[in-house]
A and B are shown apart, each in its own frame.
Chain A
Amino acid sequence: MLNETAIKELQEIRSKYPSARSALLPAIYVAQREFGWLSEEAYEAVSEVLGVPKAIARGVGAFYAMYKHRPMGRNIIQLCTNVSCMILGAERLADYLKSHYGLVPGGTTEDGRFSLVIMECIGACGTAPAMLVNDEFYENLSEQYIEEILAKFT
């Protein structure tokens, strides 16, 4: 179940659109935040508040890369490997995350501290290579800089 504040938030989002169905994407974000990932329970909550069948909610959610359909680490490293980042060394950085943190694309560290997601372009090509950790951009990356950044996360 969602708490009352989250339900209110969803109802407010709902009011911005002429149809409840349109609030589905933002609602899935809210459920993801509240439940940590998109479990059956999370989709049930979305379905209940918006009156959209659960199968539809899940089917829509599955289309989008930023929705998490399994539990993930506490911090999510989203490393871009598209062309501008690739030619400036993104693959080397992916190797570094593997050798130093045991992180493979799609994987999570054993202590649950980090998950790694390989991204298509994140719009930071001018400061490539780049990544997001959770909601924060980190640009002009090097191995050493990554180490400094990741030390901040618990």
Chain B
Amino acid sequence: MEKVLLKNIENTNSADITEYQKIGGYASIAKALEKERKDIIEEVKKAGLRGRGGAGFPAAMKWTFASGDPKFPKYLVCNADEGEPGTFKDRPILEKNPHLLIEGMVISGYALNAEYGFIYLRGEYPDAKHILERAIAQAYDRNFLGDDIAGKGIVFHLSVHQGAGAYICGEETALIESLEGDRGQPRIKPPFPVNVGVWSKPTIVNNVETLSNLPYIIEIGGEAYSKIGSPECPGPKLYCVSGHIEKPGVYELPMGTSLREIIYTHCGGIKGGKQLKAVIPGGISTPVLPPDKIDCPMDFVNMPKHGSMLGSGAVIVMDETVCLVKVCYRALKFFEHESCGKCTPCREGTGWLRSILERIEHGEGQEGDIDLLLSVSSNILGKTFCPLGDGAASVVQNFIKHFRPEFEGHITAKTCAVEG
């Protein structure tokens, strides 16, 4: 497959506008500006583009809602918070292909009649901040941003807003709170951001990778784009693979490539030829899978049918030397730390889950602890303000579902059979 999102990144100067234009970059803006705004949304609909931030929501549907709202101004926000553990797929776009994202945002801004865009960038990516700011300045210089884009009187202004270390700010309503200068605590929905978002105005929040697909959709047309990868959920997809794997990294493959193919064909298999023990397929919040469940197409439609989710496409591979109780405990430590504190089931529940897992991991588990974990989980699931709590609960449920004997072993033997 021809590279779309990671095109030209081997070029050490790929983040420079001249290099980007040499390979045809920014050509889609002129093409897009010839179309009516609604025709671009139609093209995105034909393309079948789904949001790459985790939930896989159809982009054109979100855009149609926002366009239909009579309030102005409208704001376009790029979610570059990339906080889901295991995820590093947006980083190469931000650091090596920033103009692709900018071009995508200009096209989206035009389609949505939004004149202001913000890139909400996680604080932990200091390099990306400088690279993006330089790229934005270059784009202003060449009239791809500003008050008269490409001499067509189109207005779009773009700036970077740096987060400050809070996973929850990746959730779009918490992100909006943070952009407004507040603590990153999610808002209740509805109203949805497409109607009442940042500064109470219609706001479109899309992931970096989602927006970076726009230039290509305009270039080849929605119809042709929809032929790439899974028919129900097409396009190129970035998979970032880490853990016990021969060739970790970010891979651009057709959406729907199977987890087995990603691990064994593209990434060269398990590190050192060891046995695969478990895979987290889509970032830490997605259900863990045992080795016999990896023949699943990695897309938003098929993964739920195979017991997990695509999430952010962050594949974490674990070999036979890993203690899964410890991994589960570490994951819950993360959720407890990152719970924003707004709603009780998540704030208290993640703490309880962590502390029960901690005692099991430390050889102090008690009889009944597994049932207790499941009971606390079910009291979180579906009862929280935002999906962070659901993620935490389902992590625990799925680790127990697939690897219960390992938890039981820790409790009865008071020690870990894997690590001793």
Contact = CB atoms under 8 A, between A and B. Distances in A.
Given A87-B318, A124-B88, A26 B161 contact: yes
Nearest to B166: A64
A117 B316 CA distance: 24
Nearest to B327: A83
A87 B244 contact: yes
A64 B178 CA distance: 10
A80 to B, nearest CB: 9
Interface stretch (B46-54, B57-65, B330-338): B330-338
Interface range on chain B (Cβ under 8 Å from partner): 35 or more
Interface of B: 82-88, 91, 122-127, 159, 161-167, 178-184, 199, 240-244, 248-250, 280, 284, 314, 316, 318, 322, 326-327, 330-331, 334, 337-338, 340
Interface in A109-134: 119-128, 132
Interface in A50-83: 52, 59-60, 63-67, 78, 81-83
A45 to B, nearest CB: 16
A26 B162 CA distance: 7
Interface string A11-36: 00000101101111110110000000
A64 B164 contact: yes
A128 B180 contact: no
A19 B330 contact: no
Given A65-B165, A123-B122, 12 more contacts: A19-B181, A21-B181, A22-B199, A23-B181, A64-B166, A64-B184, A83-B85, A87-B244, A123-B91, A125-B314, A126-B249, A132-B124
A39 interface: no
B85 A121 contact: yes
Given A83-B280, A84-B85, A87-B318, A126 B162 contact: no
B316 A125 contact: yes
A86 interface: yes
Given A123-B88, A123-B91, A86 B330 contact: yes
A135 interface: yes
B216 to A, nearest CB: 24
Nearest to A50: B181
B237 to A, nearest CB: 16
